Amino acid sequence: MRNAIAGFVTLCFCALALAPSPTLAQTEAVLASTEATSAPERVGPVTGFAIPRYVSMRASEGNARRGPSRSHRIDWVFTRRHMPMMIVAEHGHWRRVVDRDGAGGWMHYSLLSGERSAIVEEDMLPLYARPDTASLVRAHAELGVTGRLRECQPDWCLMEVGGYRGWVQTAAIWGVDADESFD
C-alpha cells in the first residue's frame, strides 16, 4: 500500500511539474476542489506551514520555472520586489507559486519572504485611520499598487503604501484571505 501511495504522489508531482502555468480561473478551481475534498487544513510536506499561503518576493527579480530545479525551463520572470505570491505546493527548496493573475511556476525559496504584502484591487482605495469606514481617510491608493501588510484582522488590514499607513478592507486587496488574522 505504501509503495502504491508513493507511486501516486510521484505521478501527481510529475504531472504538476510538467504542466504549464495555470490561469487564475484554473488555480481558483484547483484550490476550491482541494479545500472541498481535503482535511480542514493542508500543510506543506517540507515546511509544515499551511498550503496555500501568501508570501512576497524577497528579490527584485525571480525566475518561475516549469519544475522544481534549475534545469527546468523558465516560464516567467517576476521583476517586482515585495509582490505578493501564493504558495500552492512545496518540494525540497522549491515552492510552486502563483500571482494574482494565475501566472507562476516553481521558485527557489530564497527568492521569497514571509513578509506579507498585497496588491490594491480597487482604484483610489481609501486608507482609514481605524478599521472603520466612518473614520478619517489618511490617503488613497491607486489600482495595482503594492503595499506591505503590518497587521490583519477579519475583513481589515493595516497596510503601508508609499509612506502612508492605514486600514483597508481585505475585499479590496489581493494577498490576504478575508477572515485571516495576524500581527
pLDDT per residue of the chain (183 residues) written in tens, 0 to 9 = 434 333 333 333 333 333 444 444 544 554 454 444 444 479 999 999 999 999 999 999 999 999 999 999 999 999 999 999 999 999 999 999 999 999 999 999 999 999 999 999 999 999 999 999 999 999 999 999 999 999 999 999 999 999 999 999 999 999 999 889 998
Indicate whether 84 and 122 sit together in one domain.
no
CB of 56 closer than 8 Å to CB of 82: yes
Residues 121 and 92 in one domain: no
**In contact, 90 and 96? CB cutoff 8 Å:** yes
Task: Cell numbers for 85, please give them.
Answer: 505570491
How many structural domains are present in the chain? 2
Task: Tell which of 93, 113, 133 closes a domain.
Answer: 113
pLDDT digits (tens, 9 = 90+) for 91-129: 999 999 999 999 999 999 999 999 999 999 999 999 999
> Residues 134, 105: one domain?
no
Closest CA to 84 of 154, 159, 168, 19: 159
**What's the 3-state SS for the chain?**
CHHHHHHHHHHHHHHHHHCCCCCHHHHHHHHHHHHHHCCCCCECCCCCCECCEEEEECCCCEEEECCCCCCCCEEEEECCCCCEEEEEEEECCEEEEECCCCCEEEEEHHHEECCCEEEECCCCEEEECCCCCCCCEEEEECCCCEEEEEEEECCEEEEEECCEEEEEEHHHEECCCCCCCEC
Query: What is the C-alpha end-to-end distance of the chain, expressed in Å?
Result: 43
Grid cell in block for residue 73: 525551463
**Rounded to an integer, what distance in angstroms lies between the CA atom of residue 81 and that of residue 56?**
8
- Phi (first) and psi of residue 103, to 5 degrees: -80, 150
What is the model's pTM? 0.76
Which domain, by its residues, includes 150? 117-174
Residue 76 and residue 82: Cα distance in Å, rounded?
16
Q: Which pLDDT score is estimated for 22?
A: 45
| Same domain membership, residue 130 and residue 53 | no
**Domain's final residue, options 65, 90, 113:** 113
Same domain, 109 and 137: no
